[in-house]
């Protein structure tokens, strides 16, 4: 897995979503959306913001994998695929209702990581 270190912090995998703010500004000339952080104008997340998002998503991956293992143990007849589909539907519901503030790209990354963790666990 390729990673990039955030300044002064641990690595963030290259496949982790790096989304830039969306918006539109009218007018003839092309424009770029910037925001001020401290003394700088930036167009995307800062290293600290990216690391915070990654840490939160990685924590959710671990929690969801633990939850999936528990659900599989409680109901051994249910397949891993069905369990993960149900978990993904629940995560989608929580995001859609505004309970969780996760982008669709982050949600896809989280579920991919959960699937990888579960595949590793079942292979060993």
pLDDT score, position 124: 63
**Per-residue pLDDT, 30:** 76
Q: Does residue 29 or residue 9 have the better pLDDT? A: 29
Cut 0.85: pTM above it: no
Percent of the chain with pLDDT over 70: 85
pLDDT at 7 over 70: no
What's the whole-number average pLDDT of the chain? 86
Domains held by the chain: number: 1
- Distance between CA 29 and CA 49 in Å, rounded? 30
Do 61 and 114 meet the contact criterion of CB atoms below 8 Å apart?
yes
Structure tokens at 41: 């104008």
Q: Is residue 72 predicted with pLDDT exceeding 60?
A: yes
- Domain containing 79 equals 3-123
Residue 3 has pLDDT above 60, yes or no: no
Picking from 47, 65, 44, 67, the residue whose alpha carbon sits closest to that of residue 55 is 47
Assign 45 a pLDDT band (cuts: 50, 70, 90). confident
C-alpha to C-alpha distances, 115 to 33, 70, 96, 101, 102, nearest whole angstrom? 35, 15, 21, 21, 18
- Asked if residues 21 and 31 have their Cβ atoms less than 8 Å apart, the reply is no
- For 83-97, the pLDDT digits (tens) are 999 999 999 999 999
């Amino acid at each position: 897995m390729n990673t990039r270190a955030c300044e002064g912090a641990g690595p963030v995998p290259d496949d982790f979503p790096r989304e830039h703010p969306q918006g539109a500004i009218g007018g003839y000339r092309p424009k770029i959306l910037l925001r001020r952080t401290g003394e700088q104008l930036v167009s995307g997340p800062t290293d600290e913001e990216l690391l915070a998002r990654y840490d939160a998503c990685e924590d959710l991956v671990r929690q969801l994998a633990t939850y999936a293992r528990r659900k599989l143990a409680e109901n051994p007849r249910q397949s891993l695929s069905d369990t993960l589909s149900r978990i993904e539907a629940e995560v989608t519901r929580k995001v859609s209702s505004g309970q969780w503030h996760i982008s669709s790209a982050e949600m896809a990354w989280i579920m991919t990581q959960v699937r990888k963790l579960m595949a590793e666990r079942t292979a060993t």
